[in-house]
Amino acid sequence: MRLDIRAYLPNRVSGQIVVLLIVSLVASHAILTFSFLYYHRHDEPPLHFPEQLATLMELISANPTDQRETLIASINRAFPRFELAQLPTPPATVSGAASSDYEVAGFAHRMGPNYRVMRLPSGPSTPAAAGDRIVIGLHDGEFVSARLVPLPFSWFGPSAITLIVILISMPLLGVWAALRLTGPLRRFASAAENFDPNGEIAPIPEHGPQEIRVAARALNQMRERIKGLIDDRTRMLAAVSHDLRTSITRLRLQCEFIDNESARAKMLGELAHMESMVESVLHFLRNSQTGRQTVALDIATSLQAICDQFADTGREVGYHGPDHAVIRAHPEDLHRALTNLIDNAVRHGAKADIKLTLTQPTVTIAIEDDGPGIPDALKQAMLEPFVRGDAARGMDDKTGFGLGLSIAHAVIEAHGGSLTLLNRVPHGLVAQVVLPQAEPKTLH
C-alpha cells in the first residue's frame, strides 16, 4: 500500500502553515543539535575515537598484508578524520609503551590490550605535525600510523558541507512550500483576469487545501452562472429580435393594403420609428459581444457617403476635409456610430458641418450643428444609455430610447478613440470624435 503523506496533512491553509513552521523549526533544531554534538566535540579524548580506531585496526589485521594498502585508502575516503597511513618500516623509537606520555597511554588503554601504541617521533620520512600522530603496532608486526586527535573542524569537511546544504535547503524548502500554498491564489487571480464570457476557458482545478478547494468551486460556479446569463441574453436577443422583426414585417405588409394615403403614411412613419428603436436596442445589447477583425477603412469616403445620404433627404450637411484618410475599424459599427452623431446634429440644428482633420497619430472628426446645444451638466449623462436630453435640447418623443449617443460612445471607445461633446460659439453643439490612425490594440 502506497503511503500518501497528504492524507495526514491538515486540511486548511492555516493548519498547513502551522505544520510547516513546526516541522521546519524542529528539523533545523534537530539537525543543528545533531551536528553540534557529533562534529564540534574538541575535548580530549574525543568521544569513542580510540574505540573506533581499535575497530578499524581489527579490520585491517583481519586482512592479508598485500590488501592493506587499498583497504587503508578506502578507510581514509570514508573516515578522513583518522588520517590513517601505512608505515613501510618500523619507526626507530618503537620500544614499548612510553609510560610518561599520559595522552598516549590513555589512548592505548582505551584501544585495548591487543595494540602497542606510541607517539610518532618527528622525522624527515614522517608527515608534518608528527607530534600529533601515533603509531600502532599490529600483532603481525606491521605498523599503521593515525592521528592522536581527530582533524579539527573544517569548512570544507563533509560535516560542514552537510550543515551548509541544510542551511540553504531549509529556507528553499520553506519558500517552495509557501509558493505551493499560495499558488492556487495566483491561479484564481489570473483566471479572473482572463475571464472572457465569449471564450471557452478551462475551469480552475479544484484541489489543494480546503479553503482553496472551496474558493475554486465557488469561482467555477460563478463562472458557470455568468456564462449561463450571457448565453441566456444571447438567446433572448435572438428570440426578441426575430419576433419583433416578424411583427413589424407583418404590419408593414398590411400597410400596403390601406387605401387612406395619410393614414398609411402615418403608420409607415410609426413603423419606421419602431424599427429604428428595436435596431438601436439590439445593436446596443449586441455591441459587447462582437469580436471581429478590423479592416483598413477610408474614413473620409465613409463620412462623405453618410453626408451624401443625409443631403439626399433634404438636410443641409456639408463635409469639409481631405478626400482620403485611412484608419483601422469595424466598418459597420463605425458607420452606425457616425450616422447616429450626424443624425443627432441634423435633428437639432438647421445645418450640420462635418470636419475631418488629420492629427498624427489620430484623426479628429468634428460634427457641428447650430442647434441649442446641451448644458454642460448634462453632457456626460447624454453618453449614458437610456438617458434623453431634456427640454433644453428640444427633443420630441421620436428620439427613441436615447441610445444614439451611447451607441456612438461605446463604438468609438471600442475603437480606442474618444467622444467629447463641446459647445459651439455662439450656439450649437460639437461632437468631437478622436480615432487612432494606427491599429487599435484590442477591439471587442
- Nearest of 90, 87, 63 to residue 145 by alpha carbon: 87
Interaction of residue 289 with other proteins, rule CB under 8 A: no
From residue 325 to residue 344, what is the string marking binding to other proteins with x (rule CB under 8 A)? -x----xx--x---------
Cβ pair 47, 41 in contact under 8 A: yes
The interface region with other proteins, picked from 19-27, 127-135, 214-222, 254-262 by CB under 8 A, is 254-262
> What per-residue string of b and e applies to 107-143 under the rule 16 or more CB within 10 Å gives b?
bbeebeeebbbbbbeeeeebeeebeebbbbbbeeebb
Q: Which of 33, 93, 190, 254 binds other proteins (CB under 8 A)?
A: 254
Neighbours of 99 (CB within 10 A): 9
The interface region with other proteins, picked from 7-15, 100-108, 236-244, 403-411 by CB under 8 A, is 236-244
The interface region with other proteins, picked from 40-48, 175-183, 241-249, 402-410 by CB under 8 A, is 241-249
Interaction of residue 207 with other proteins, rule CB under 8 A: no
Cβ pair 204, 216 in contact under 8 A: yes
Cβ pair 334, 443 in contact under 8 A: no
Interaction of residue 379 with other proteins, rule CB under 8 A: no
Interaction of residue 296 with other proteins, rule CB under 8 A: yes
Question: How many whole angstroms separate alpha carbon 282 and alpha carbon 415?
Answer: 19
Interaction of residue 316 with other proteins, rule CB under 8 A: no
The interface region with other proteins, picked from 26-34, 252-260, 381-389, 412-420 by CB under 8 A, is 252-260
Interaction of residue 312 with other proteins, rule CB under 8 A: yes
Cβ partners under 8 Å of residue 437, min gap 6: 325, 326, 327, 358, 360, 361, 362, 363
Residue 66 exposed, middle or buried by CB count within 10 Å (0-12, 13-18, 19+) = exposed
- Nearest of 48, 39, 43, 41 to residue 107 by alpha carbon: 48
152 to 83, 104, 132: CA distances (angstroms): 12, 18, 12
Cβ pair 130, 85 in contact under 8 A: no
- CA angle 364–370–373, rounded 5-degree value: 85
The interface region with other proteins, picked from 214-222, 299-307, 340-348, 364-372 by CB under 8 A, is 299-307
Interaction of residue 261 with other proteins, rule CB under 8 A: no
Interaction of residue 304 with other proteins, rule CB under 8 A: yes
Q: Which of 79, 275, 287, 422 binds other proteins (CB under 8 A)?
A: 275
**Nearer Cβ to other proteins (120/300):** 300
**Nearer Cβ to other proteins (299/429):** 299
| Run of H or E including 55 | helix 49-62
Q: Which of 298, 351, 401, 443 binds other proteins (CB under 8 A)?
A: 298
**Nearer Cβ to other proteins (44/243):** 243
Interaction of residue 250 with other proteins, rule CB under 8 A: yes
Cβ pair 400, 276 in contact under 8 A: yes
Interaction of residue 277 with other proteins, rule CB under 8 A: no
Amino acid type, 322: P
Q: Which of 309, 357, 380, 420 binds other proteins (CB under 8 A)?
A: 309
**Residues engaged in binding other proteins (CB under 8 A):** 238, 241-242, 245-246, 248-254, 256-257, 271, 275, 279, 295-298, 301-302, 304-305, 308-309, 312, 323, 326, 331-332, 335
